[in-house]
């Protein structure tokens, strides 16, 4: 819509009833509600959308990133009404939207392809036989799929059967098409894609690559352009094959050809997305092209304005996908809630934030949990990474759990900085799951000193009476304190002295100087710690000294007490933690798809108990021990919240 406004084009937004106050609705010149919250009744409801087009007299439709963006029937209906589809023609969507057909076309166009079965897999047992013929591991994926949905990796027959079941269910739920295909899984590859742009006059360009190897559950998390891995020869070979494929299906519009690249720079066609990609801004940063503007021009029938030699690689761009997810659960299980505080880091230079939400927006179970695409740009990769680090530290999101701790750890990890990445990066770097930033001696001191200084600042502020002109009878302000700061690893004795805005903190045998403006009303806390600039966030604090502090991207729980209060606190009884081995709680908000047990049933360790669907992804919940089912507190079709009790064991 920003591009349309720039081009002087009036816009119409369609929305569900729960999105009536969404950002895209407010940006549009007109807005039409197309149904209730469930996607099948609103954003996938073609009849309602066609009615909206007729009522408003819209001349063209840009389908966005998902929903109907690669739906051939929708494109056909628009064509029948004489409405332009800002995307490729129907035959290209049909050819590339079906992974089986697209692979055959790619082979015919001399594009490198992955070995596999070039047909539809109809049953779980047929899937097992095909997988054994290809050789494990294999990738089971939806023929009509994309975005990581309907995809499973199987290493044996049992995982193939399970993968067939979940992939077909997810495919049916997300795309209305449960057909599956199976191909060889290339272990430890890179995921690199080529952006293509073609017009209706036979011209096609490749706009360089995007490195998309940092993924969880086959969904991208961090992307960058260009890739650290490709040399000019490989880049050109991939670009030329991508253009060959686009021309083979008479493609017109922006599209993306995705490849898997092995350690020897052999590359294999994965799929073609016949739409604008979520990560397109990083291509715009390094080429200077507005891809949405190019799509609109192509849809109108104009020829491309550029030749292949005109396409540059200027600088480096990185995109972090900011999600409403808990990164400590499987690298990101969905979180829902209302954004009680939301502040994008647009005060920083060369930072771009593409978002469809604002302060007060609700993140619901109905749609993808993405909050925004955070993009930074620099003349070099190091510059872009440094800007991303600052941007993540200055991004304020309250009311939902988010994945900024994971994003910051990824971009500062030595392996990522060196470019040593693959699609297995997250499980390799965090084999026991993501645990947040791990403090060393120096950073622990910084955190403890910052917490102590913040506590003293709050104490001193609370002693002042705003607007009181009377002569104070209170003693002269204290400048030395003895405190106890409790962190997860234990209690730490701290001594603090204050001079102006500078605190000198002695902790764990070292001295730390902390200074700043100490604006407790601001969500951001810019500090200088031993000469290094850091931006912290005080997420919460209470009168008992408990402070939740976001430091180096991760939230740390600390408690600051006076020396006397700490002595008394040692006599307080500790709360006994809940025995989680005998109960199963929902790890995320979602809908119960299936319950596999009933009271009295015996269950083995690892046995499936129920399936929860959240944001169109199905998650199997299993028993952590051998036991007997005591009671079941959920049934298929019910909506559950994070932490809700599902099943009790005995």
Annotated active-site positions, please?
275
CA dist., res. 622 & res. 608, Å (int): 4
3-state secondary structure of 282: helix
Helical H segments across 109-231, by residue range: 124-134, 157-175
User: What are the φ and ψ backbone dihedral angles of 56, each rounded to 5 degrees?
Assistant: -90, -15
By CB atoms closer than 10 A (0-12, 13-18, 19+), residue 644 is: middle
3-state secondary structure of 55: helix
Spatial contact of 198 and 249, defined as CB atoms under 8 Å apart: no
Spatial contact of 540 and 458, defined as CB atoms under 8 Å apart: no
Strands 138-142 and 180-184: antiparallel
Residue by residue, DSSP assigns 197-255 as EE-TTS-EEEEEEEEEEEEETTEEEEEEES-SS--HHHHHHHHHHHHHHHHHTT--EEE
Number of Cβ within a 10 Å radius of residue 28: 19
Residue by residue, DSSP assigns 486-538 as EETTEEEEEEEEEETTEEEEEETTEEEEEEE---TTSS-EEEEETTEEEEEEE
CA dist., res. 335 & res. 644, Å (int): 13
Vertex 71, ends 67 and 75: CA angle to 5°? 115
Q: Encoding tokens for residue 641?
A: 């919240």
Specify which residues 409 forms β-bridges with.
none
- Cα torsion through 456, 457, 458, 459, rounded to 10: 50
């Amino acid at each position: 819509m920003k591009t349309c406004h720039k081009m002087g084009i009036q816009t119409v937004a369609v929305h569900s009833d729960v999105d009536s106050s969404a950002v895209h609705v407010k940006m549009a010149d007109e807005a039409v509600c197309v149904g209730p919250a469930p996607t099948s009744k609103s954003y996938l409801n073609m009849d309602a959308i066609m009615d909206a087009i007729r009522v408003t007299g819209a001349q063209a439709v840009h389908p966005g990133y998902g929903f109907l963006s690669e739906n051939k029937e929708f494109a056909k209906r628009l064509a029948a009404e004489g409405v332009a589809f800002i995307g490729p023609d129907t035959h290209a969507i049909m050819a590339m939207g079906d992974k089986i057909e697209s692979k055959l076309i790619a082979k015919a166009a001399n594009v490198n392809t992955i070995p596999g079965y070039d047909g539809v897999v109809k049953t779980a047992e047929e899937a097992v036989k095909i997988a054994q013929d290809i050789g494990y591991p294999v990738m089971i994926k939806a023929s009509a799929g994309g975005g990581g949905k309907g995809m499973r990796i199987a290493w044996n027959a049992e995982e193939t059967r399970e993968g067939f079941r979940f992939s077909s269910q997810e495919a049916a739920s997300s795309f209305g098409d449960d057909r599956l295909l199976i191909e060889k899984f290339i272990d430890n590859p890179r995921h690199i894609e080529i952006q293509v742009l073609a017009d209706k006059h036979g011209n096609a360009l490749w706009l360089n690559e995007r490195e998309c190897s940092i993924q969880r559950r086959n969904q991208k998390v961090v992307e960058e352009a260009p890739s650290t891995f490709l040399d000019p020869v490989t880049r050109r070979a991939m670009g030329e094959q991508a253009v060959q494929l686009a021309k083979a299906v008479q493609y017109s519009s922006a599209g993306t050809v995705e490849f898997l690249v092995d350690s020897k720079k052999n590359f294999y066609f994965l799929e073609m997305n016949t739409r604008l990609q979520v990560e397109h801004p990083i291509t715009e940063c390094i080429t200077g092209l507005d891809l949405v503007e190019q799509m609109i021009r192509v849809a109108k029938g104009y020829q491309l304005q550029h030749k292949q030699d005109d396409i540059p690689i200027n600088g480096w761009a990185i995109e972090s996908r900011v999600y409403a997810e808990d990164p400590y659960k499987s690298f990101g299980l969905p979180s829902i809630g209302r954004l009680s505080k939301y502040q994008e880091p647009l005060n920083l230079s060369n930072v771009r934030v593409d978002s469809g939400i604002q302060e007060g927006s609700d993140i619901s179970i109905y749609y993808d949990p993405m909050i925004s695409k955070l993009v930074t740009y620099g003349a070099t990769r190091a510059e872009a990474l440094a800007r991303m680090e600052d941007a993540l530290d200055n991004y304020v999101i309250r009311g939902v759990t988010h994945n900024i701790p994971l994003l910051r750890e990824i971009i500062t990890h030595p392996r990522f900085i060196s470019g040593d990445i693959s699609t297995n990066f997250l499980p390799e770097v965090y084999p026991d799951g993501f645990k947040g930033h791990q403090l060393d001696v120096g950073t622990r001191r910084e955190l403890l000193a910052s917490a102590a200084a913040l506590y003293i600042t709050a104490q001193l502020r609370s002693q002042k009476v705003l607007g009181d002109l009377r002569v104070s009878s209170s003693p002269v302000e204290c400048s030395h304190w003895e405190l106890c700061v409790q962190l997860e690893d234990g209690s730490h004795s701290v001594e603090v002295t204050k001079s102006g805005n500078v605190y000198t903190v002695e902790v764990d045998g070292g001295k730390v100087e902390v200074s700043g403006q100490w604006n407790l009303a601001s969500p951001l806390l810019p500090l200088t710690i031993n000469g290094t600039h850091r931006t912290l966030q005080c997420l919460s604090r209470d009168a008992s000294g408990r402070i939740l502090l976001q430091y180096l991207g991760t939230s740390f729980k600390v408690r600051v007490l006076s020396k006397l209060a700490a002595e008394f606190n040692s006599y307080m009884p500790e709360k006994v933690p809940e025995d989680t081995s005998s109960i199963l709680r929902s790890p995320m908000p979602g809908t119960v798809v299936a319950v596999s047990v009933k009271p009295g049933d015996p269950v083995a360790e690892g046995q499936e108990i129920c399936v929860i669907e959240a944001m169109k992804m199905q998650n199997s919940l299993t028993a952590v021990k051998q036991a007997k089912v005591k009671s079941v507190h959920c049934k298929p079709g019910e909506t559950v919240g994070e932490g809700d009790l599902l099943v009790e064991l005995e």
